[in-house]
Structure 1
Amino acid sequence: MKAYVYILKDENNKFYIGSTSNLIRRIKQHDHGYTQTTNRMENPVLVFSQEYANLKTARWIEQRLKKLKRKDYVEKIISDGYIKMSPSWYNG
């Protein structure tokens, strides 16, 4: 089943990185305040998404991006339009 890594950005230039198997449903959950992590964000909008073959790979990529904790890298992903991290690094 296909899955996605996505990035939300709010009016204060704060980012949220997530993964899901249903991007439309997940964005609606964020929009309606159903997720605690983005509840504090000011009008978050989807600024990036990338598709992967399965949720396990998408979650692995999400965790690697979150561990980087670098705003400049997240901004580069958005401007480039893709994540340069290869799922082939993942052995799970």
Structure 2
Amino acid sequence: MTVHHWVYVVECADGSFYTGYTTDVERRVREHDRGEGAKYTRGRTPVELVHTERFDSKSAAMSREYEVKQLSRRQKEELVEEDADGE
């Protein structure tokens, strides 16, 4: 079985974005919603999954997670919009 590594972005209830890494996106989003995810999302539930990117290696995913976290709010909005448009 191939393990995929994911970078994901959730939109929090306050409209902010949180970017993370996981091997199981659905489980991780549930954890955020239950207040068991990252400290940042605990007071900002519910969260909505708005973007995912799949990688074959953890190192590639972690590098991309870092890149996404460095993006400005506007750049993150554009990333999410591209996802919504199916691009």
TM-score by length of 1: 0.78
The DSSP-based 3-state class of the residue aligned with 1:46 is: strand
Match of 1:58 in 2: 61
Map 1:3-42 onto structure 2 (within 5 A).
3-35=5-37, 36-42=39-45
Match of 1:49 in 2: 52
How far, CA to CA, are the matches of 1:7 and 1:55 in structure 2? 17
The DSSP-based 3-state class of the residue aligned with 2:53 is: strand
Q: Is it true that 1:67 corresponds to 2:80 in the alignment?
A: no
Figure out how many residues of one structure are paired with residues of the other and give that number: 81
Which amino acid counterpart does residue 2 of structure 1 have in structure 2? H
- Measured on the aligned residues, the alpha-carbon RMSD in Å equals 1.6
TM-score by length of 2: 0.82
How far, CA to CA, are the matches of 1:32 and 1:43 in structure 2? 8
Using the TM superposition, give the Cα deviation of residue 4 of structure 1 relative to its aligned residue in structure 2, in angstroms: 0.8
Share of identical aligned residues, percent? 23
Match of 1:85 in 2: none
The DSSP-based 3-state class of the residue aligned with 1:81 is: helix
Between 13-22 and 51-60, report the one with greater CA deviation. Answer: 51-60
Which amino acid counterpart does residue 29 of structure 1 have in structure 2? E
